Structure 1
Amino acid sequence: MHRIVVLALPDVVAFDLSVPAQVFGHRDERDRYDFAVCSLRAGPVPTTTGFAIEATAGIEAVTSADTVIVPGFFPLDAPPEPVLDALRNTTARMVSVCTGAFALAAAGLLDGRAATTHWRDAGDLAARFPKIDVRPDVLYIDGGEVLTSAGVAASIDLCLHLFRTDHGAAAAARVARRMVVAPHRSGGQAQFVDRPLPDGNGLAQTCSWILDRLGEPTTVDEMARHAGYAPRTFARHFRAETGMTPLRWLTAQRLLEARRLLEATELGIDEVARRCGLGTAANLRLHLAREAATTPSAYRTAFRGSTIR
């Protein structure tokens, strides 16, 4: 039987732990998975929400697991060396949820890989671990033996994806119905969130300047000039602050503005594309399909009037 071990680090995010417990540890799945929660030592583990959960095993459980899932935790300090050694020395499929990616990163398991985490912490992950290709705009990334997810509800998408990989679409759809959630959102679908501007010297002002002229063409050289940096230095600082290249951030902001216009106005697709700086309806459709796996019309239908992002 496939053994899944959730590694609960101190100050674990309870929601992140509860999702794999509901997907893999539910009584309906006991003939499919052997599910356990471990920590450095067996016993109570504090959560970020003021109560403790019980780890039934110590760190040695990681070595016998077929899949190890690391939920989010705070603060984002490197776990103790025995935890990192256990993560490095297991042959298990490795999965992180939200800021659990920082534990895999500290163990070196994400070096040379694409990975994601909560958008709020993506810049920190990219700055601290430059060997990782941090992608803050996706729900999850399946790298085969290593998988990472974005924050909070994206853990549901990743766990259902794992279940689907293990047992097929019909079985995963049954689990989704039990949990009363959508059965499938692709990993490449974007997190529908607003991102704050970076706080770095000069960068916040430059980002505000860009946002005030989204409908106009803007190059990286122009951004760098406004911020008072050489282009390569600007690009390096920008990625450290945001986890994204300047052009990728600009495209994300243009798409965010396009989403706002699709939600709040009756403007045609061509006019929406022009106002957000993407030029044509075809270009808007291309970028929205690539970044959010949807179309302008489908987005307008799904999100108009919603107050939840």
Structure 2
Amino acid sequence: MDSVLPAPRWIGLYAGPRHLSAFRYAPDGEVLDRRSVPWPPTQAGAELAGAITGLCSDWLDPPTHIGLLGAGLDRWLPRGMAPPPLEVPFDLALPATWRTPVRLGGLPPLYLLPEIDQQGIPPGRISGQGVALFGIRASSSATDLLIGLLGEQHQWVRLDGSRVRRFFSFATPSLQRLLSPGPADQDDQDWHTGAFDFGLAVARGEDRQAGLLASLATPQALVDSGHLQATELGSFRHGLLIGHELLGLDRVEPDAAPGCPVILVGAESSCLRYARALQLFGYEHVERARHAIERGLWQLASGLTQHPPVHEA
């Protein structure tokens, strides 16, 4: 006998690069509470279930009519449990794979947003941060959008209406860490806006055709000649890297600037720097999407509430 379950109380889960976050939603989508713990775990499966329970066990009591939504959890699940990835291009309508929950330990049903794959050489993949696309699409009236997901990689996604047309990935954060080793927040503490703008200008200068490796040969010479202070090197290199990333973006999305709206998702400091750089590159409409992850999770939750899965009784 088929039965449709009552609308659940939703809890959203997001596994970022350093934290597992949980969001408890009211029936209208308001976030009543949010929490996070350090992440990732060292063991899949049971460790993930334990981390979720430890993070929000009081939200799971009583356990009836609770639904869990997860993004970025795939790699921490036992083999074969994660849903197949969404293949670009695809529509941001409710993915069919969301309609089959997984069971993890003694937890309530867990609905997982699949990872997003793009075939090609090289292939591309967006993990949990892709959930932000659903929240942005629901809150923006613009038909054509360029979305910058500024996470462990920088991934630029082009939306045509509700359709994910394509995306491109850049390893800018990894290269920045390699060139400027030290605490993650060191750049924020030693930030020099003028040096950052100088780096952007060098990236866009007459020698830009020589490429990034040629640009990276210049910083020490600039210090030796007195054009830069040693303390400004990190900000200058950051400007160089972002400048070359945006040059690459211009090549693969030549019709985006100036009119295509750009929406940024990520840490505030990163978004501010990219907004500044994008405006110098001629983009006229740049903004940061706040709380895009939790809004995206809610969009998927509300879709499941409106079109609930049917379970065998």
Give me the TM-score of the superposition, normalised by structure 1: 0.32
What TM-score do you get using the length of structure 2 for normalisation? 0.32
More strand by share: 2
> Of Structure 1 and Structure 2, which has the larger fraction of its residues in helix?
1
